């Protein structure tokens, strides 16, 4: 059995991202890239696609 989720992919070099519906097995645990943030910082990122992608780019470089 699968769950439908929104899958996002981006290229930090060309700054283009895309989203699509993907199927994920129900038993697979998804990692929350924002889990370590406080609620205020998380809400700020969730309100801006540009800030969210910048945050994820910086995290991927670490």
Note the pTM of the prediction, 2 decimals: 0.63
The mean of the pLDDT values for the chain is: 87
Return the SS3 of 34: coil
Q: What are phi and psi of 60, to 5 degrees?
A: -70, -25
Q: What is the pLDDT of residue 24?
A: 92
H helices within the chain, ranges in order? Answer: 39-46, 49-61
**pLDDT for residue 1 is more than 90:** no
**Averaged pLDDT for residues 14-18:** 81
Q: How far apart are CA 14 and CA 61, in angstroms?
A: 16
**Averaged pLDDT for residues 21-27:** 92
């Amino acid at each position: 059995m699968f769950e439908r989720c929104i899958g996002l992919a981006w290229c930090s070099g060309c700054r283009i991202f895309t989203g699509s519906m993907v199927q994920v097995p129900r038993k697979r645990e998804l990692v929350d890239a924002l889990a370590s943030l406080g609620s205020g910082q998380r809400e700020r990122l969730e309100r801006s696609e540009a800030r969210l992608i910048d945050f994820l780019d910086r995290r991927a470089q670490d």
